[in-house]
Copies of this chain bind each other. A is one copy, B any other.
Amino acid sequence: MVGVKLLGSWYSLFTKRVEWALKIKGVKYEFIEEDLQNKSPLLIQSNPIHKKVPVLIHNGKHICESMVIVEYIDETFEGLSILPEDPYDRAIARFWAKFLDDKWPAMIKSIFFKGEEQEKAKEEVYEMLKVLDNEFKDKKFFVGDNFGFADIVANAVALWLGVFEEAFGVVLVTSEKFPNFCAWRDEYYTQNKKYLPSRDELISHYQTYIEAVAASK
């Protein structure tokens, strides 16, 4: 019997954060791929409030919310540390993780919404990109010289945002406007391929989704 199970979806950035943490720690786990259009009774029972992936099941206990799970994994299993040791550095890591997570709704709206709501969301995304571009002017990771918590959470901006732009035909990030961010993003994708799904497969997944929606109309 495997003591650690992960209910997730291969194309979910939130799931991938948790898998990343498990891999950093070298934890063996059983991955249970959820059909998000037809959620399993196990998912609904394990995360009754949000009914969303990911859920980590460890020794029969359920832990929900990707950032909460990553901290749980860091505190529970031996191995390389994901959060820094120093409380101030930990605070900086949590600050950036929250910053990125709080911007996800705007990123989604900037892609999927139309009209005024989309324009408002785009403005918020541009503000975020400006902050990140400034941040990566002279550094590679969010905290000090080490990859960690905030960098894992940054998979949203480092991969998924660009995938959505390409699949749904919305342009937000250009290297003219955000050169430092783009340089950081390219390096991130190259360095962390083993923790990320393939960009092409993600784009293809969302394109199939677009076609299915169009065909159903």
Contacts and interface: CB of A to CB of B under 8 A. Distances in A.
Interface string A61-74: 10111011101100
A41 interface: no
Do most interface residues of chain A lie in helix, strand or loop, or is the interface mixed?
helix
Contact of A68 (B63, B65, B75, B94): B94
Given A68-B95, A99-B49, A75 B87 contact: yes
A139 interface: no
Could you say how many copies of this chain the assembly holds? 2
Nearest to A59: B88
Interface of A: 49, 58, 61, 63-65, 67-69, 71-72, 75-76, 87-88, 90-91, 94-95, 98-99, 131
Given A67-B94, A71-B91, A76-B87, 6 more contacts: A49-B131, A65-B94, A65-B98, A71-B90, A72-B88, A75-B87
A99 B49 CA distance: 9
A72 B49 contact: no
Nearest to A74: B87
A63 B88 contact: yes
A27 to B, nearest CB: 13
Nearest to A69: B91
- Top 7 A-B pairs, shortest CB-CB distance: A75-B87, A72-B91, A68-B94, A76-B87, A63-B91, A68-B91, A68-B95
- In this complex, the member of A58, A65, A67, A69 whose beta carbon has the largest number of chain B beta carbons within 10 angstroms is A65
Nearest to A76: B87
A94 B69 CA distance: 10
B98 A68 contact: yes
A50 to B, nearest CB: 8
A162 to B, nearest CB: 23
Contacts of A94: 65, 67-68, 71
Nearest to A49: B131
A155 B64 CA distance: 23
A216 B91 CA distance: 41
B61 A75 contact: no
